[in-house]
Amino acid sequence: MSPRPKKPNLESSVYLGSDGWWHGRVTMGAKNDGSPDRRHRSARTEREVKRKVRELEKLRDEKRAPKAGRVPTVATWMTTYLTDIASLTLKPRSLDDYWSKTRNDIIPSFGRHRLDKLQPEHLEKAYRTMLDEGHAPSHVLKVHRILSRALKIAHRRRIVAENVATLVDPPSADETETNPFTREQARAFLEAAARRPTSMRWIVGVGMGFRQGETLGLRWKYVDLENELLHPQWQLQRLTWQHGCPDAHACGTRLHRLAPCPPDCTAHKSHKRGCPKPCPKGCARHASACPDRKNGGLVFTRPKTKKSRQPVPVPPPFIPYLIEHKERQEADRAAAGDLWQDHDVVFARPDGRPLDPHQDWQEFKELLAETGISDRRLYDGSRHTAGTILNELGVDMPTIMEILRHTQISQTKRYVKGRSTLTKDAMRRIGDTFVPRPKPSVETSVETTGTRSARDRRRRRIR
* Element containing residue 357 per DSSP (H, E): helix 357-371
| Strands annotated E in 45-174 | none
CB atoms within 10 A of CB 340: 16
Return the pLDDT at 270.
77
In degrees and rounded to multiples of 5, residue 129 shows phi and psi of -65, -40
Return the pLDDT at 1.
47
Going residue by residue through the chain, which has 463 residues, state the pLDDT in tens, using 9 for 90 and above.
455 555 566 688 899 998 999 999 988 877 767 778 888 899 999 999 999 999 888 888 877 676 665 788 999 999 999 999 999 999 888 999 999 999 989 999 999 999 989 999 999 999 999 999 888 999 999 999 999 999 999 998 888 888 999 999 998 887 778 899 999 999 999 999 999 999 999 999 999 999 999 999 999 999 999 999 999 999 999 988 888 888 888 898 888 888 888 888 888 877 776 788 888 778 888 888 898 998 888 999 998 888 999 999 999 999 999 999 999 999 999 999 999 999 999 999 999 999 999 999 999 999 999 999 999 999 899 999 999 999 888 888 999 999 999 988 888 888 787 655 556 666 777 677 776 667 665 555 555 556 677 667 666 665 5
Return the pLDDT at 422.
59
For residue 217, give every residue at least 6 positions away whose Cβ sits within 8 Å of its Cβ, in sequence order, or none: 232, 234, 235, 236, 237, 300, 301, 345, 354
For residue 385, give every residue at least 6 positions away whose Cβ sits within 8 Å of its Cβ, in sequence order, or none: 180, 181, 186, 206, 209
Yes or no: say if 287 and 242 are a contact pair by the CB < 8 Å rule: yes
Q: What string of H, E and C letters represents the secondary structure of 223-234?
A: EECCCCEECCCC
Return the pLDDT at 68.
62
Dihedral sign computed on CA atoms, order 415, 405, 213, 203: negative
Distance CA 387, CA 415 (A): 6
